[in-house]
Structure 1
Amino acid sequence: MSVKTSKKEVEMDKLQNSVQRIILMCSLAAALRYWLMLSKYQSVIANHVEVSTPMNSWKRVSEGLYLLSRNIDPYSGDLLHETPLSLFFYKVLLNVFQQQIHWMFITFDLATGILLFATARKYMSQLYKEENANKSTFSKDALQYLLKPTDLIKSPFHVLLAFLFNPFTLFNCVGYSTTVFHNLFLSLLLFSMVLGIPIIGSVSLALSASMSFYPSILIIPISLYHINIFKSVTKAIIDIIIFIVSVSLITIFCSHYAKDFGYLKNVYGCILTVPDLQPNIGLFWYFFTEMFDHFRDLFIYSFQINATLLYLVPLSIKFRKQPFLLTLALLFIITVFKSYPCVGDVGFVLSLLPCFVHLLNYCQQGFLVGVIFLIASSLAPILWYLWIYCNSANANFYFGVTLAFAIAQIFLLTDVLFAQVKREFILEHGKERKVNGEEGILCLE
């Protein structure tokens, strides 16, 4: 009886310590965000093109809500690119928070971090149990590379730290970017996915896809997660059905709230055809600034297919047994190749990397990627200032930085995916890589 009591006490102490650490980190993150929001730097951060794009600018949302309050169609011009459902959502939130915008953004950002913490904890626990169950099939000299109990404790906290104190997500929140709300729905999607709750996951995915249609491809890894992890084809089918029904209901609500389907051109038409060529950290703006009009449609189709369908099938086939890693890969691809990306998208994906701590031993480009991230992030605002305000640089300088930033993300993604392949090989065949008595080299073909 005393042994059981002591175990319960130890578990309670661990839980209490975890809660205290979460509260401490969230409090520090909230204080830092609040201080920056009330400082003179808030307007500087909010006006930077790395943070604010035509698709996530709170200034445009505020103007759209004002026009709506005056019974003026906010979609009559080229001002607003948010859906009517998003406008209704923001209107309700402003009433709930009594126009305290800073607390609204801080609350949703912290909620996203906590959801990612819970997601990482559940995912790491599932991965640990799966590896222990299959331990007998692994090579004996590779057992040292399996997950350890300490990883289950450290990794979720590293995810929370990576999200709350990442400069990208920090600036995203301070700059009043509506990507904060998009990230919340994505985190809710991931959380419901690892818990195996199809209703919440599909509705969250539908809400994310309504803001930007790119996340709709995540229905594939969600379905694969239920099939491979929970061994339930039924849940996968329910996912797809609920997603389709949710998208239909959202479309009906939007058309009713906006009184017609004119919003489609401003929201999804803007994402698809890229009419606003304001520079950002993506790749679209530069190419279509220099593009001849008669080539524009061809490259629009090429770029959009590249951001959605091109890598979906091969990655889904290769990593069908690792659906969470597949989700990370697709989120990375969306972030790199979407038409209007921002640093908030990048910060969200980067915060998920501690979930793959077991792949770090096999990654080889971490230093290179880190240096490129640091240099590109530092040079981007400098070259923007030299180009726009000093007229001593041009678009090529700024695009060079955004291109390097995209390359760093691609290098990081390929490094993580190749690390998974190498780890699978070592767990199956062991550390020895000799072929005919000589040291072999593992390479992709």
Structure 2
Amino acid sequence: MNAQHSLVFVAVDFIAAMLIRSTGRTLQMARNRSLKSLDLRKSVNNSVNVSAGDTASLIYLWNPWTIITCVGSCTSPIENLMVVIMLHGACSRLAPLAAFGYVMATHLSLYPAILILPVALLLGYGPDTPPTKVFLQKGLSANKIDMSDNGKGTSQKGFGQFSWKPILHFILWVFIWSCYVLLLNSIILNKVGGLQEMFEKTYGFILTVKDLSPNIGVLWYFFAEVFDFFRSFFLIVFNMNIIFMVLPLAIRLKHRPCFLAFVYTAIVAMLKSYPSAGDSALYLGLLGLFANELAEMQFTFFLFFGYIGVSLLSPVMHNLWIWRVSLSLSLSFYTHMLCTVTNMAVFTGYW
């Protein structure tokens, strides 16, 4: 029975990897079109054009976090698959598919709800994103005369116009899939409390952080130490912490909606109430979609091996904290280092 379960999760991870590969190819074609529209063909030909889709799919399949979740028969691969389906449908501008992935991902875990903004931007603008600042700087001197002659027309030729039609189509399909999922849940859970009981045991459980069992997150440790009098206040603060980052990041990265979705998934993996290794597997796989941009990132060597070092220290910290009950600051130090390395890897030198 365990072998059959493992095969199911292997199949789920394989499907997710293939969808990530297809999404990467879509993004790469859109990137090339944007570079051609800005008359930067020479820069593209002279640069190493890595197949981002192949790289991302291999990273997702073979990174240790994916293997751990698959061997452990964790349900995280199913949640990751729904997020990938949502992004693939949005990049392909398939509103029904994107809506299905969004509804199922939100149903399985509350936090993918914040991905509504990058999905809307992908459907409205499409994946035709502008090139990175590095390519713009390389082509600035060559295109200076053309830009002065043509005005703003040449610089904006690669930017698509926003369209509300696919977004309205997406909202309609979100409503249809949501009604379908809620109807099935009400039928199945009719004898055990209905939808109200389901929301209390799922979303309520996530938001109230009732289970303080040790995990790789920080909320269980914090709420185990906080006084009950301040618990409601800090629950609001921690739950709103993710929401506070949504709008500023959307304003800053509205021209790169797929990268915005990756940043959201990375933030959720660090700040959600009950994180797992599968959350890290997802955002590491999505990180591979930007292999060409990451080639120009600063301090890649130190960030890469810093992340590996922190990951290898996780079983040591788990043993010291859970089994030996020593070094009370070890878990906090490990989690702080993991968050620091991830934040640096995401934001350092990307623009």
Q: Is the pair's TM-score, using the shorter chain for normalization, greater than 0.5?
A: yes
The equivalent of 2:235 in structure 1 is 300
Distance 1:156 1:306, change over 3 A: same
Aligned partner (choices 188, 192, 199) of residue 264 of structure 1: 199
Inter-partner Cα distance in structure 2 for 1:119 and 1:147: 22
Cα distance, 1:133 vs. partner?
1.4
Cα distance, 1:395 vs. partner?
4.1
Q: How do 1:23-38 residues align onto structure 2 when only pairs under 5 Å count?
A: none
Residue 282 of structure 1 contacts residue 339 of structure 1 at CA under 8 Å; is this kept in 2?
Answer: yes
The answer as to 2:114 corresponding to 1:213 is: no
> Structure 1: where are the runs of 5+ without partners?
1-93, 421-445
The equivalent of 2:302 in structure 1 is 368
The Cα offsets for residues 100-149 of structure 1, whole Å up to 9 and x where unpaired, read as 212111111111111111111111111111221122xx6x9xx63x4779
SS of 1:280's equivalent in the other structure is coil
Q: How do 1:153-164 residues align onto structure 2 when only pairs under 5 Å count?
A: 154-164=51-61
Higher relative contact order (CA 8 A, sep 6+): 2
Residue 227 of structure 1 contacts residue 236 of structure 1 at CA under 8 Å; is this kept in 2?
Answer: yes
The equivalent of 1:397 in structure 2 is 330
The equivalent of 1:235 in structure 2 is 166
Aligned partner (choices 312, 319, 329) of residue 385 of structure 1: 319
Distance 1:399 1:221, change over 3 A: same
The farther-off stretch of 187-196 and 374-383 is 374-383
The equivalent of 2:145 in structure 1 is none
Distance 1:275 1:365, change over 3 A: farther
Aligned partner (choices 106, 111, 114) of residue 18 of structure 2: 114
Cα RMSD between the aligned structures?
2.2
Inter-partner Cα distance in structure 2 for 1:386 and 1:174: 24
Distance 1:148 1:356, change over 3 A: farther
The equivalent of 1:105 in structure 2 is 9
The farther-off stretch of 292-301 and 354-363 is 354-363
Inter-partner Cα distance in structure 2 for 1:342 and 1:388: 17
The answer as to 2:250 corresponding to 1:250 is: no
Cα distance, 1:371 vs. partner?
2.9
Q: Structure 2 counterpart of 1:128, which letter?
A: N
Residue 219 of structure 1 contacts residue 240 of structure 1 at CA under 8 Å; is this kept in 2?
Answer: no
Residue 110 of structure 1 contacts residue 164 of structure 1 at CA under 8 Å; is this kept in 2?
Answer: yes
The Cα offsets for residues 391-428 of structure 1, whole Å up to 9 and x where unpaired, read as 4x14421232122112221222222xx523xxxxxxxx
Aligned partner (choices 117, 134, 150) of residue 38 of structure 2: 134
The equivalent of 1:410 in structure 2 is 343
Residue 281 of structure 1 contacts residue 405 of structure 1 at CA under 8 Å; is this kept in 2?
Answer: no
Inter-partner Cα distance in structure 2 for 1:403 and 1:338: 15
The equivalent of 1:124 in structure 2 is 28
Q: TM-score, normalised by structure 2?
A: 0.83
Cα distance, 1:252 vs. partner?
3.0
Distance 1:286 1:303, change over 3 A: same
Inter-partner Cα distance in structure 2 for 1:225 and 1:107: 27
Inter-partner Cα distance in structure 1 for 2:299 and 2:247: 26
Decide which structure has the larger Cα Rg and report it: 1
The equivalent of 2:122 in structure 1 is 225
Aligned partner (choices 157, 162, 172) of residue 69 of structure 2: 172
Residue 206 of structure 2 contacts residue 273 of structure 2 at CA under 8 Å; is this kept in 1?
Answer: yes
Residue 384 of structure 1 contacts residue 398 of structure 1 at CA under 8 Å; is this kept in 2?
Answer: yes
Distance 1:291 1:147, change over 3 A: farther
Inter-partner Cα distance in structure 1 for 2:214 and 2:3: 30
Q: Structure 1 counterpart of 2:183, which letter?
A: I
Residue 320 of structure 2 contacts residue 330 of structure 2 at CA under 8 Å; is this kept in 1?
Answer: no
SS of 1:352's equivalent in the other structure is helix
Question: Aligned pair count?
Answer: 313
The equivalent of 1:334 in structure 2 is 268
Q: Structure 1 counterpart of 2:331, which letter?
A: Y
Identity %: 25
Residue 365 of structure 1 contacts residue 411 of structure 1 at CA under 8 Å; is this kept in 2?
Answer: no
Residue 52 of structure 2 contacts residue 292 of structure 2 at CA under 8 Å; is this kept in 1?
Answer: no
The equivalent of 1:442 in structure 2 is none
Cα distance, 1:287 vs. partner?
1.1
Inter-partner Cα distance in structure 1 for 2:46 and 2:186: 51
Distance 1:99 1:129, change over 3 A: same
Q: Structure 2 counterpart of 1:225, which letter?
A: L
Q: Structure 2 counterpart of 1:200, which letter?
A: L
Cα distance, 1:389 vs. partner?
2.5
Q: TM-score, normalised by structure 1?
A: 0.66
Residue 12 of structure 2 contacts residue 81 of structure 2 at CA under 8 Å; is this kept in 1?
Answer: yes
The farther-off stretch of 347-356 and 267-276 is 347-356
Inter-partner Cα distance in structure 1 for 2:245 and 2:174: 22
Inter-partner Cα distance in structure 1 for 2:228 and 2:46: 56
Cα distance, 1:338 vs. partner?
0.8
SS of 1:279's equivalent in the other structure is coil
Inter-partner Cα distance in structure 1 for 2:175 and 2:263: 23
